[in-house]
Amino acid sequence: MKKIQLIIFMLAVFHVSVSSQQQPESFCGTTGVDPWLTEYFTNRDDFRTESFDPIYVPLTIHLTGTDQGKGHFSIETLYESLCTLNSDFEDSNIQFYIQEPINYINRTVYHNHEHFSAGIQMMQLNNVPGTANCYFVANPAGNCGYYASQGNAIALSQGCSGPNSHTWAHELGHFFSLPHTFVGWEGIRWEHGKTALDYEGQVRRVIERVERDNCTFASDGFCDTPADYLSYRWNCTGNYESNEVMYDQVVTPFRSDGSLFMSYASDGCMSRFSYEQTEAMRANLNSKRNDLVRTSFPDPNIDDKVISFGYPSDSVSIPFDNALAFWPEVPEASHYIIEVSRLPNFGFIVARERIERNEYQFEGLKPGIRYYWRVKAVNANSFCGEFSPTMVFVAAQPTATNDLFTDNEWSVLKTALYSGEPLEMRFDLPESLDAEWMVVDAMGRPLARGDWSFPRGTTWLDTPTSPSWMPGLYFIRVVYNGEQSVRRFTIIR
């Protein structure tokens, strides 16, 4: 009995220490009002434009890790979070894209920085001009994130940057001049039962009244963001309002609006910038930050479900020490993200990589094990694509086979074909040869076969493919005297 109690106690301690490491002390480290915004409010008419054209903004993504090169933000989560970010800014007609390359910084003092000074130094040394610089770190000075004007960049905690988080939108809101909806209250905790009168003198801005008769100069200066005094992370009601009821200086009760990204409401409450906030961000981009404004996305859009098949699949056995995956090329893609797992739900990832080519050499497979993999296509501005269907194969002990042809002796000129297009091949043989050939699909089912007589030297050969062959992966095999060679091709559509 004592032993069991001890184990439970140890587990509890372990759990607490883990969660305290992951849970930042505060949501955001940014306080105060950007001097640009004060100028904007004073001369608002000068900033006004008729245009609501889309603004495209290049982002430089910096991913920090430890000195040993460990702990970088997951590349797949990054793309999912970018999808959320562009959705968050859709109504503002501001859209973001990745300015390559993604910058990996392996320095523990930045990766886990307890003080803003280290973060600011990181930014000053690594910022890429003409882009909005975003740093994903393990610990941004105890916060989920912050914008540092001295560093002219934002830092985001990995743990607060999941696909369902809006920390990125919040910090970019600061980057484009927005203060918190409760600005002035940072670090001051509203206590139940008090009124705004109890906090006058403590709050660093004029306290906004519910009536909003002072909204042009009180708190954040926006009149379409209601009064908000809550400077701690809070959960909302079904109406996206705070559970806490506060009282302003004239003792009018109200609840905070949790739908605004610039509040401290939980991620599930947040969904918007106000109209005036959007106007200010767009004005900031068109003036102070006009070096970030682009008029279009750099890359064409990729369809969400573009990769429908790949190889190996259907539980085929492939040699564990020389296992290659491939899938149809997506011409619009700059990169592919591949995930490999031993579980069909990808609960535990064996490998996750961003690669440029439509093939992947599996590493470290164990013979006799079943592996699951999937892949998606991305580019500078297509983040929201879905993974291919999950494919499965068995890593097997290789069987000894002698290769009949070297790569030079037999080459397939075009490996991605449209239905019915012939397969063009070139043979360059040191001696003549009578061999058998066969086309099989990814499951190994034979579809066509025949015999070839090759003369010595170079031969060009077109093998017809059938319009009845469905899009997918195929192999052509040539066999002679117990030796064989295999080449692969895909039918795209």
Closest to Zn ion by CB, 151 vs 310, is 151
CA distance 428 to 62: 49
Closest to Zn ion by CB, 180 vs 376, is 180
Closest to Zn ion by CB, 28 vs 63, is 28
Closest to Zn ion by CB, 30 vs 274, is 30
Cβ at position 34, least distance to Zn ion in Å? 12
Residue nearest to Zn ion (CB): 28
Cβ at position 17, least distance to Zn ion in Å? 27
Cβ at position 232, least distance to Zn ion in Å? 12
SS3 label, residue 106: strand
List phi, psi (to 5°) of 135: -110, 120
Contact partners, residue 302, CB within 8 Å, separation at least 6: 330, 332, 333, 377, 378, 379, 382, 385
The H or E element containing residue 376 is strand 370-378
Cβ at position 186, least distance to Zn ion in Å? 8
Footprint on this chain of Zn ion (rule: CB under 5 A): 28, 30
Closest to Zn ion by CB, 34 vs 76, is 34
CA distances 78 to 93, 156, 164, 354, Å, are 21, 11, 12, 11
CA distance 88 to 82: 10
CA distance 193 to 202: 17
Cβ at position 288, least distance to Zn ion in Å? 19
Residue pair 334/381 in contact by the 8 Å Cβ criterion: no
DSSP 167-187: HHHHHHHHHTT---TTTT-TT
CA angle 246, 169, 149 (to 5 degrees): 90
Closest to Zn ion by CB, 262 vs 283, is 262
CA distance 438 to 487: 11
- Of the candidates 172, 153, 161, the residue with the CA atom closest to the CA atom of residue 78: 161
Cβ at position 170, least distance to Zn ion in Å? 5
How deeply is 16 buried, as exposed, middle or buried, from its count of CB atoms within 10 A (0-12, 13-18, 19+)?
exposed
Cβ at position 276, least distance to Zn ion in Å? 17
Closest to Zn ion by CB, 168 vs 393, is 168
Closest to Zn ion by CB, 186 vs 241, is 186
Cβ at position 277, least distance to Zn ion in Å? 13
CA angle 14, 341, 337 (to 5 degrees): 105
Closest to Zn ion by CB, 30 vs 139, is 30
Cβ at position 212, least distance to Zn ion in Å? 22
What sign has the CA pseudo-torsion 137, 138, 140, 141? negative
